[in-house]
Amino acid sequence: MNANPVECTVKSPVALQIGDTVSDSFRPGVYIIDITLEEAVNIQEISFKNYYTAFVTMRLQQRQAGSKENHAKWVTCLRNHRLMANPHTEAGSQDYFSIYRQQMLTEPDQVTSLRLILRQPSSVWLDFSLEEIKIYSCISEDSDKDVPAWLSTLTPIQEPLDLKGLPDPETVSSSIQQMWALTELMQSSQKSASIGRFDVDGCYDINLLSYT
């Protein structure tokens, strides 16, 4: 996924309402958000923060490949995707969501515009929408940006290590073995000597003697 979202223009939500919007006072249950891209892109991910929207449907305007007149076609790539477990409760009402191209009904390639259709059948909430909408484009697998800089500087496995200036490993191992043998020899040659009960540095402390 690209780390930076593509440039786009997100328009304000427009209520879809039947009847006279001036005289009718009931709350609309459907809003539409139109998004215009500066250039046609292949979408990898769309992320947003929910604001009391229960379901979202997504339509894409795609540029037709091979068309001389550069015609565009509207297709539905996501239908009634649930954002809230229950429209009447708070669960999921302000969560962050990501919709990936693998979840869509059609491949979102050569997209020039998007239309998000938001539905909230519950009358509990006074308003609903989607916030912080971001669109990310696909990156080709052979792109250099996919490889972190620190990874490209690692030493290859087949390249031998530079051991110049270091002592010979075999010589160091032999010396350690000799030191270990000398230590064992010294420990085995030490004579064991018993220490008297009241003996302190070869003398007896008169205070420690008992008289009968």
Is residue 127 predicted with pLDDT exceeding 60? yes
Identify which has the larger pLDDT, 80 or 154.
80
Report which residue type is found at 198.
Answer: F
138-163 per-position pLDDT tens digit: 986 544 444 455 544 554 555 556 66
- Residue 191 has what pLDDT? 55
**Residue 113 banded pLDDT, cuts 50, 70, 90:** very high
Which residues 6+ apart lie within 8 Å of 32 measured at CB? 13, 14, 16, 115, 116, 117, 118
- Residue 67 has what pLDDT? 58
Structure tokens at 80: 């009634």
What domains lie within the chain, and their CATH numbers? 8-12+35-140 (2.60.120.260)
Contact 75, 60 (CB under 8 A): yes
**Residue 197 banded pLDDT, cuts 50, 70, 90:** low
pTM equals 0.61
Which residues 6+ apart lie within 8 Å of 84 measured at CB? 50, 52, 53, 54, 91, 92, 93
Three-state SS across 1-35?
CCCCCCCEEECCCEECCCCCCCCCCCCCCEEEEEE
- Residue 143 has what pLDDT? 45
6-63 per-position pLDDT tens digit: 999 999 999 986 555 554 456 678 999 999 999 999 999 999 999 999 999 999 999 8
Q: For residues 1 and 140, give the distance between their C-alpha atoms in angstroms, rounded to a whole number.
A: 10
Structure tokens at 186: 């010294």
